Amino acid sequence: MIVCVCKSVSDRTIRSSIADGVDSFDELQFELGVASCCGKCEESVRDVMLQSGVCASRCGVGIEHHPQAVPLTFYERKAA
Ligand code: FES
């Protein structure tokens, strides 16, 4: 499924990058270009990160190592 329409990035590509060691939203944004155009995919990218066991906040720490559980609805939104 395409997550980022602007850059044609699928959830499979995001998961592959995470499996290759990308562990923060900023890195995904740099490596794949997600959420770097219209930005509407940011929440979906963070959902894929969370489903892949990576903290969806900007800390880049694996969710299993996070000192506090991050609620599924927690997102740090970038200012428009
Ligand atoms: S849908 Fe990802 S930047 Fe527009």
Span 14-25, average pLDDT: 91
Cα of 50 vs centre of ligand 1, distance in Å, is: 18
**Domain span including residue 32:** 2-65
Counted domains in the chain: 1
How far CA 35 is from CA of 24, 68, 69, in Å, comes to 13, 26, 25
Span 51-78, average pLDDT: 60
Write the Ramachandran bin of 39: left for phi over 0, alpha for psi from -120 to 50, otherwise beta.
left
Tell me if 45 CB under 6 Å of ligand 1. Answer: no
- 71 in a domain, yes or no? no
Residue bearing tokens 């991050």? 70
**Does residue 61 register a pLDDT over 70?**
no
C-alpha 77/C-alpha 7 separation (Å) is 20
For residue 56, count CB atoms less than 10 angstroms from its CB and return exposed for 0-12, middle for 13-18, buried for 19 or more: buried
**Does residue 68 register a pLDDT over 90?**
no
Tell me if 39 CB under 6 Å of ligand 1. Answer: yes
Task: Return the CATH number at 44.
Answer: 1.10.10.1100
Amino acid identity of residue 61, one-letter, is V
Confidence of residue 12 (pLDDT cuts 50, 70, 90): very high
- 70 in a domain, yes or no? no
Cα of 36 vs centre of ligand 1, distance in Å, is: 6
- 30 in a domain, yes or no? yes
Span 53-79, average pLDDT: 57
